[in-house]
Structure 1
Amino acid sequence: MKLKIVMSSRIRDKAVDELTAEYVKRMGAYAECSVVEAFSPNKAKQLPLLLKAGEGMLVGMDPKGKRFTSEKFAAWLEKKLEEYGGVTFFIGEADGLHEELKARLDDTVSLSDMTMAHRISLVVLAEQLYRALTIIKGHPYHK
């Protein structure tokens, strides 16, 4: 099982980086997980970087995407990991995901109806992925 979070920007925030790294480390007990910064100041070069980073099922984080409870997200994730072997989640910049990337996604997921900074989305997604893995494995973290 492989999970990947691809940021189309740089993290540039030590607190966000440290907290995300903690959840990625915790996920390591259940699945291979990584965070990739696929950033280029040249927008024409951005799409190839994003696509190269993606593997398995491609999922965009989008406010209009599917909404889940933690339990339903865990069930969805378990099914997708079994089907694809891995899932890559893309987090866009302030203006959202690259339009051409959107056309190549297998699905979209929403973290909240509220707007949040993409760096905060990274932490929330990392925590929810860890939570989903603990639900799947029957670990008491979720309770």
Structure 2
Amino acid sequence: QEDLLVLRKTVKSFLAVCQQCLSNVNTPVKEQAFMLLCDLLMIFSHQLMTGGREGLQPLVFNPDSGLQSELLSFVMDHVFIDQDDENQSMEGDEEDEANKIEALHKRRNLLAAFSKLIIYDIVDMHAAADIFKHYMK
């Protein structure tokens, strides 16, 4: 039980550091922090206690509304962007096409990570409504 509390404290500290990194000016740092947050929230979700593992309850983390809104804001700012704005100076050669495909793949991965949080009821379902708005346009 004591080990669980030590692990909880460590994970909580790491989650806080990752949350602070979402405000970093360096985009790759923000993206990595976002992915880490999504992965950790999946690992340490209420699903952890299924199958008779109620003893792991101290390790369960539920994101507060502030973290949920930061994650949603990140998705809105980094996933739902106009690709033409992102690549204004690119001319269309093969390397530029490869860069566009890579950027699209990265955005899909970010959206998938957040979508998992919605599907597994870790993030409030209202977040899904904001995401669906972009598909209705």
Range class of TM-score, shorter chain: under 0.3
TM-score normalised per structure 2 = 0.26
Higher strand share: 1
Higher helix share: 2
TM-score normalised per structure 1 = 0.25
Q: Which has the higher contact order (CA 8 A, sep 6+)?
A: 1
Task: Determine which structure has more spread, i.e. the larger CA radius of gyration.
Answer: 2
